[in-house]
Structure 1
């Protein structure tokens, strides 16, 4: 047919989800992949972009939660919002309904564009294994990596973060699904049980495997 492009669509690099419990070492693993030249799409970063003043998600959060979860300069007060969603499961569900679709759309767009010129792309999705999240990612991810770490180590890391006390640390860990659910959807596992050098080495070994995986279409 005139005007029809019959050329075959070139293959793209695989899009790999990276998940793990809070404070398991996802950020460090992502930094290791980035240091190896792999594009990393961080959904936490996307979520921060989406709640900047004037963004649609910021307006929707204000409409649902009120001005109490915002600072005087109009920026989101993350600690105040964290307390709200820890105290009320309905508020947590409302926040997820506001944020998750927008995060997913932006993450997929960036990942698909980056995958045109890379052997593979990492998309960091902390809550990937949650029942309300996984179905929306399952059809466009080519694989999943889970980072695991002992619960005591995760708790210690949380307690050094600004604004998180022992009660919040325990509740944040308890709110998330466990590693069994994460590993059930995973193709690869990174155990963060030693030091940073050990995790970097594990990422380097996995990187070599992933570079040998046939490119997706």
Structure 2
């Protein structure tokens, strides 16, 4: 059994995924896979350098994520180009790991944390979708405090994603993460018990 876990930037997906893992779920993190596919020497990193220039490659041969982020969050066409370069490799690896874990551990819940799940049209990959929700103003506040971004930069990042309200409407499960950790933990517990997981 699997679920796709998503939400908005700074909504608390990592917190919720950790809570699910602590109950016995297996986590596949799309962000971690995205880092794997751009390791030095990878075909994806070569394509990124060809499209965005050597300025996005650091002296040690690794991707300069901050520099690339500045380019893509300011330019929707550049962001689409990057997605076109990375998404096929990320999806293939995600699907491969999901299938492996579901075969090896048929009784466990496989949770796939995908920040841009809806934006990438990946809904059909999962049995059900869980959205970690906080209102937009909470997202903005957390993003500015957490990342040291200006309010304008934080707005740009939110604008690059589908509205959190739309994600909430389309979800099979919503974990409202604007309260205390204990309240979030209780919602995760209710989900777990409701699914008949032990």
TM-score (norm 1): 0.84
2:112 to 90, 112, 123: 123
Q: Map of 1:56-95 to 2, 5 A cutoff?
A: 56-95=43-82
Answer yes or no: is 1:194 the counterpart of 2:189: no
Unaligned runs of 5+ in 1: 1-13, 213-217
Verify the 8 A CA contact 2:117 2:123 in the aligned structure 1.
no
Mapped to 2, the partners of 1:31 and 1:94 lie a distance apart of 32
**Deviations 1:3-60 (CA, angstroms, capped at 9, x unpaired):** xxxxxxxxxxx11101101000111101111111100111011101111111121111
Shift of 1:170: 1.2
Larger Rg over CA atoms: 1
Aligned partner of 1:10 in structure 2 is: none
Q: Give the match's secondary structure for 1:160.
A: helix
Q: Map of 1:102-141 to 2, 5 A cutoff?
A: 102-116=89-103, 117=105, 118-130=107-119, 133-134=120-121, 137-141=122-126
Unaligned runs of 5+ in 2: none
Mapped to 2, the partners of 1:64 and 1:28 lie a distance apart of 34
Q: Map of 1:200-215 to 2, 5 A cutoff?
A: 200-211=185-196
Shift of 1:204: 1.6
Report which stretch shifted further, 151-160 or 140-149.
Answer: 151-160
**Deviations 1:152-204 (CA, angstroms, capped at 9, x unpaired):** 22122212334633221111011111123313432111101102221122112
- RMSD of the TM alignment (CA)? 1.5
TM-score (norm 2): 0.92
Q: Give the match's secondary structure for 1:193.
A: coil
Answer yes or no: is 1:165 the counterpart of 2:175: no
Report which stretch shifted further, 166-175 or 141-150.
Answer: 166-175
Structure 1 pair 94–177 and aligned structure 2 pair: CA distance change class (3 A): same
1:176 to 161, 171, 179: 161
**Deviations 1:107-128 (CA, angstroms, capped at 9, x unpaired):** 1111121122133211111111
